[in-house]
Amino acid sequence: MSGPAVRLPGLPAASRCLVMGVVNVTPDSFSDGGRWFGTTAAIAHGLQLAAEGADIVDVGGESTRPGAERITEAEELARTEPVVTALVQSGITVSVDTTRAVVAERALAVGARIVNDVSGGLADPAMAGLIARTGVPYIVVHWRGPSATMQELAVYEDVVAEVRDELSQRVAALTAAGVRPTQLIIDPGLGFAKLPSHNWALLARLTALAALDHPAGPFPVLVGASRKRFIGRLLASGTGAPRPPLECDDATVAMTALAAAAGAWCVRVHAVPGNADAVRVAARWNEESVHESA
């Protein structure tokens, strides 16, 4: 992987894996059950995540849980824009989690610095042009289709090779539209058209994935494992009941330590403090491994 030291346009150079805190301005997200739905609650939560050590706060207005139906563009704008505006005004580095170019454009206009697109540009043909024009860092997530039907698309012969090929195709399409490779961060899209076994295979091969099939690789990698269902399944009780998402934060910290030690650029998490500690532990650990191999 290119590791955390990578430079992205408009962002300070990082000496360790970054922590992205999540603000879902939605009534129905799987990971936090709609606790931050409403402008005031969402802003307060974003401020808290930053105070706890989040380097970036990711603001999203549309739930991507499996089976979720889409909301209108107007609704998504009404949910995200005031929250992005307030967090930017407080000096926070904000990313906007959206698949719609219009929502991304409005967020950038009020000061968001990163676009996080779980469809990797596939959901909205206008997204590539916006990213090329604005030059901002863009998170390209592996995606095969909308949330309503994505689990039917979780069919792979070799998940690592296929995700790598499909992300390589997205990077080729984006650069053909004028996006510079230095703007791009890639993301395996854990849980997006993936079964638990697919997610684990991808996590174990992050370095292979980061190279992609592209001359500009390796790319910085973002890992979004926090509170996801496959962690809950791993930690299921004796009766087979999955561990609820809000009880998966300790396991998320373990995933963060492993991802950061493997060279991830950023982890996207719901609870910041433990993960902020984990990235520091991994950075110190890796520093020593560099000395050892020198």
Nearer to ligand PMM, 31 or 80 (CB): 31
Near ligand PMM by CB under 6 A: residue from 141, 262, 264, 272? 141
Half-sphere exposure of 170 (CA within 13 A, CB side): 31
Which residue from 22, 57, 112, 259 is in contact with ligand PMM, where contact means CB under 6 A? 22
CB of 73 vs ligand PMM, minimal distance in Å: 18
81 binds ligand PMM (CB under 6 A): no
Residue 268 annotated to the active site: yes
84 contact partners, CB below 8 Å, separation of at least 6: 59, 94, 96, 107, 110, 111, 112
Does 139 bind ligand PMM (CB under 6 A)? Our answer is yes
Stretch that binds ligand PMM, among 67-75, 123-131, 212-220, 221-229 (CB under 6 A): 221-229
Q: How far is the CB of 214 from ligand PMM (least distance, A)?
A: 19
| Residue closest to ligand PMM (Cβ) | 224
Our CB check for ligand PMM shows the closer of 214 and 268 to be: 268
Q: Does 267 bind ligand PMM (CB under 6 A)?
A: no
Our answer to whether residue 228 is catalytic in this structure is: yes
Q: Decide whether 93 or 226 has the Cβ nearer to ligand PMM.
A: 226
Q: Kindly write down the DSSP assignment for every residue of the chain, as one continuous string.
A: ---TT---TTS---SS-EEEEEEE--S--TTTTTTT-SHHHHHHHHHHHHHTT-SEEEEE-S--STTPPPPPHHHHHHHHHHHHHHHHHTT--EEEE-S-HHHHHHHHHTT--EEEETTTTSS-TTHHHHHHHH---EEEE---S-TTTGGGG---SSHHHHHHHHHHHHHHHHHHTT--GGGEEEE--TTSS--HHHHHHHHHTHHHHHHTTSTTPPPPBEE--TT-HHHHHHT--TT-PPPPGGG-HHHHHHHHHHHHHTT-SEEEESSHHHHHHHHHHHHHHHHHHHHHH-
Which pair of structure tokens corresponds to residue 261? 């030690």
Q: Residue 97 Cβ, how far from ligand PMM at the closest point, in Å? A: 5
- For residue 50, what are the CA distances in angstroms to 103, 253, 254? 23, 17, 21
Residue type, 119: S
Question: Site mask, ligand PMM, residues 50-69, x = CB under 6 A?
Answer: --------------x-----
List 62, 76, 81, 97, residue binding ligand PMM (CB under 6 A): 97
- Catalytic residue among 194, 228, 229, 284, which? 228
The answer to whether 266 contacts ligand PMM (rule: CB under 6 A) is: no
Q: Which residue among 16, 170, 227, 268 is the active-site one?
A: 268
Residue 190 binds to ligand PMM (criterion: CB under 6 A): yes
Nearer to ligand PMM, 65 or 180 (CB): 65
- Work out whether 120 is an interface residue with ligand PMM (CB under 6 A): no
Catalytic residues: 228, 268
Per CB under 6 A, residues contacting ligand PMM are: 22, 24, 29-31, 64, 97, 116, 118, 139, 141, 187, 189-190, 222, 224, 226, 268
